[in-house]
Chain A
Amino acid sequence: GAVVSQHPSRVICKSGTSVKIECRSLDFQATTMFWYRQFPKQSLMLMATSNEGSKATYEQGVEKDKFLINHASLTLSTLTVTSAHPEDSSFYICSAVAGTAKNIQYFGAGTRLSVL
């Protein structure tokens, strides 16, 4: 299957720090990438849909100024958690769709963020 690389896999930072997470599609072009957040023992929650060359579409309740998304190329989307606070600690996962025909999402390995 298609490969999606997400980096870093683990971040521990102080409150007030901004954290940048990268999501790359390694062997295909992804016009659309998704960003999810998952709290322990809960299901994936879609945060935003990232489209190459345009502004991301955020889900209701997700602050766009808090979670900055940039999708500058067909293989890279970034999520920046600005001024992170302990309540932002979570598992952040990106995914990319490998072509509209199959509509299959391939996920990155996730980033575990811990804000102290």
Chain B
Amino acid sequence: RKEVEQDPGPFNVPEGATVAFNCTYSNSASQSFFWYRQDCRKEPKLLMSVYSSGNEDGRFTAQLNRASQYISLLIRDSKLSDSATYLCVVNRVGNQFYFGTGTSLTVIP
């Protein structure tokens, strides 16, 4: 079983829509969780860390469910500029990072 699994999509949504991505992780010892955004032919950029209490940054909301071992990312009021690949990243003890394969999002005018 993979350490981190994501639905690769693609997700094609109209502007203004709300879209949610889920990511599951296999190791209950995982400690830190992140969502990164990667544009085509660019490096990943940190979108947000994910905390147990859930956290929100503008139109983006991240949630962590430790019991079910998944994290989620909700994007409200989608913009064309949100089109990208969203990577789920899980960190275990020390410098062990595990990446999901990414979920592709295209926001359509």
Most buried by A among B44, B87, B89, B101: B44
Q: Mark B25-56, 1 if CB is under 8 A from A, else 0.
A: 00000011010000001111110010000000
Contact B99 A91 (CB under 8 A): no
Which residues of A are found within 8 Å of B44, using beta-carbon distances? 44, 93, 107
With beta carbons under 8 angstroms apart, the residue of A1, A44, A103, A110 that contacts B91 is A103
> How many residues of B sit at the interface, in one of the four size bands?
20 to 34
> How many residues of A sit at the interface, in one of the four size bands?
20 to 34
| Shortest Cβ distance from residue A57 to the other chain B in the assembled complex, whole angstroms | 9
Interface: A49 (CB within 8 A):
yes
Within 8 A of B (CB), among A24-38: 32, 34
Within 8 A of A (CB), among B62-109: 87, 89, 91, 94-95, 97, 99-102
Interface: A104 (CB within 8 A):
yes
Main secondary structure, interface of B, reads strand
- Bound together, the chains give a CA A104 to CA B91 distance in angstroms of 9
- Bound together, the chains give a CA A93 to CA B41 distance in angstroms of 11
Contact B43 A107 (CB under 8 A): yes
Q: Which A residues contact B (CB, under 8 angstroms)?
A: 1, 6, 32, 34, 42-44, 46, 49, 91, 93, 97, 100, 102-110, 112
> What are 19 of the A-B contact pairs (CB < 8 Å)?
A1-B46, A6-B43, A32-B95, A43-B87, A43-B99, A43-B100, A44-B44, A44-B87, A44-B99, A93-B43, A97-B95, A104-B32, A104-B34, A104-B46, A105-B34, A107-B44, A107-B45, A109-B43, A110-B43
Please list the 5 inter-chain residue pairs (A to B) with the smallest Cβ-Cβ separation, ordered nearest first: A107-B43, A43-B101, A103-B32, A103-B91, A110-B43
